[in-house]
Structure 1
Amino acid sequence: MSISLNPYLFFDGTTREAVDFYKKALVGELVSIMTYGDVPGDPDDPLSIEMKNRIMHAHLKVGDADLMFSDTYDGMPYQPGNSIQLAIHPKEEDVARTIFTELEDGGQVMIPLHKTDFSPLYGMVQDKFGVTFNISVPGNVPQ
């Protein structure tokens, strides 16, 4: 079984500024950045211009480590300083499903596992201790 794990930092509209700050402070290299507007939206629930410009995903390489970032989605709670989640990247979909199921026991599914434009299987779950995990099988990620 092959899994990688990294911190995922969330901000409320200041991700671009945070990425620039951490890139300089940690001598990082920007791997990728995409906005919510960069991916096909739901025609029944169109995004506002502000939401389209928010960062959906940014990836900064710091040495051998991966640091990921995102702006919160409309309506998601945000509290500065308590906005770190863990991203888990199992290579196999069955492993992702098993991890997700174990973490949701006594917790809360925030985004059910599903196929996306950036992953063959992605979901978000908060465990019974209040820790939020992004489960994402690598693949189809724009660089």
Structure 2
Amino acid sequence: MTTQALHGTTVAYRGLDGWRGLMITGPSGAGKSDLALRLIARGWRLVADDYTHVWASGGSAYATVPHSIAGQIEARGVGIVPAPTLGLVRLALLIELSSITAERLPEPQFRTVAGISLPFIQLDPRPASAVEIATSAIVRL
């Protein structure tokens, strides 16, 4: 099993079929941790902030946290704070943060992580609706 460290924040949503992972990517300062904090406030769990270890097994991609940052997330302007966590999750969705206005009805897109093709969307994290959009996207899977 080959594990790769990816620059991204991963959170987990508990659906009817168990936990589903969402990896949030984007440049430094794009709002990855901010969006994750808003999702955590709605009952999601933190898997990893800033860096995520990812690997493939049995046709799925999985994510976990580097031990040195487990259970912690950066709250810009406050510092490092504890967060409710989940140690391991199967990835179900990738979100890339972008200020580009998303298409109203985009064609499905996919990106490959650890050799596994995953659904992918671009999202502007600034609107209050970003939390509901992320939740709707992962629930639809």
TM class by shorter-chain length? under 0.3
Q: TM-score, normalised by structure 1?
A: 0.27
Larger radius of gyration: 1
Q: Which has the higher helix share?
A: 1
